[in-house]
Amino acid sequence: MANKSPILLPKTKQILGEFGENIKLARLRRKLSSEQLAERAGISRSTLIKIEKGDEGVSIGYYINVLKALGLEKDFQALARDDELGRKLQDAKITTKRRAPKTKS
């Protein structure tokens, strides 16, 4: 069975592309070749190229390995840490029902 890439909305693809571009810029600032970074991350060079392009078919684990090799894993840990909307909902004590009410026949 072939791996299938997830279907993403255009805005989400753009975000992933920007993320890949930021990874590439971090690599270049550290003066690492793509081959060196791929080796440090334990992935193939072609996978690193896909990551730098923001390919949605690459496992998130590979993205994390690359961030760790660049010393940026703390940036990943910071994602979704400050959940502003979630905190507002929690403060408002809005609850959702576990399931829809039964309909009467």
Round to whole Å and give the CA distance between 30 and 23: 11
pLDDT digits (tens, 9 = 90+) for 49-92: 999 999 999 999 999 999 999 999 988 888 878 888 888 877 88
Lookup: tokens for 102: 């039964």
Collapsed DSSP state (helix, strand, coil) of residue 72 = coil
Q: Is the pLDDT of residue 35 over 80?
A: yes
Does 60 fall in a domain?
Answer: yes
The helix (run of H) or strand (run of E) holding residue 57 is: none
Given pLDDT bands bounded at 50, 70 and 90, which one contains residue 105? low
Q: 66 near 43, Cβ under 8 Å?
A: yes
CATH at 37 = 1.10.260.40
Does 34 fall in a domain?
Answer: yes
Does 37 fall in a domain?
Answer: yes
Q: 37 near 51, Cβ under 8 Å?
A: no
pTM: 0.75
Does 4 fall in a domain?
Answer: no
Does 1 fall in a domain?
Answer: no
Total domain count for the chain?
Answer: 1
Domain that holds residue 36: 10-92
Q: Is the pLDDT of residue 100 over 80?
A: no
